[in-house]
Amino acid sequence: MRILGIDPGIAIVGFGFIDKQGSKLTPVQYGCIQTEAHTPEEERLLHVYEGMVQLIEKYNPDAVALEKLFFNRNVTTAMSVGQARGVLVLAAVQKGLPVAEYTPMQVKQAIVGYGKAEKRQVQEMTRMFLKLQAIPKPDDVADALAVAICHAHSYTLNSKLNEVLRS
């Protein structure tokens, strides 16, 4: 199963593709889509959408996992990120992909085992899970890979629960 993890944003969209074979997780490709500051928001959203469509077409994931929007004090930023998140979901759904969402606390719990873990702990565990030489940069990329790993773990658990419920 190939999973695309996404850390949504308007300036930087982190993405990470991982393959899950049994309990083995292998990184396929990761990076970010960046938009230029001081560019009209509609152009930035188009760039994010087109970039994600190209990535989906190239790496052909089976599922998409996004970090749920975390509202902070800056409403303008939250609105822009929400719009970017919308075009990212649209790109996935148009390609017929199932989309799962995880809160930052769920991702931390899945990666570190503690929902209030520090960002650095999550990044280091992500690096270890995927046997990477270094923590991916910028942080948005490491976050996207963590979301993909969270989905891999959740998918396995949910599959087993469904088997038990069907028996």
**Binding-site annotation: residue ranges for Mg(2+):** 7, 67, 140
Annotated binding site: 7, 67, 140
Whether residue 87 contacts residue 52, with contact meaning beta carbons closer than 8 Å, is answered with yes
Place of tokens 């396929």: 28
Whether residue 1 contacts residue 151, with contact meaning beta carbons closer than 8 Å, is answered with no
- With vertex at residue 7, the alpha carbon angle to CA 15 and CA 17, rounded to the nearest 5 degrees, is 25
Please tell me the number of Cα atoms within 13 Å of 7 on its side-chain side.
Answer: 24
DSSP symbols for 7-38: E--SSEEEEEEEEEETTEEEEEEEEEEE--TT
Query: Is 67 assigned a catalytic role?
Result: yes
Query: Is 62 assigned a catalytic role?
Result: no
State the Cα–Cα distance between residues 34 and 59, nearest whole angstrom: 19
Query: Which candidate in 50, 67, 124, 139 is catalytic?
Result: 67
Query: Is 118 assigned a catalytic role?
Result: no
Beta bridge partners of residue 6, listed in sequence order: 15, 66
Catalytic residues: 7, 67, 140
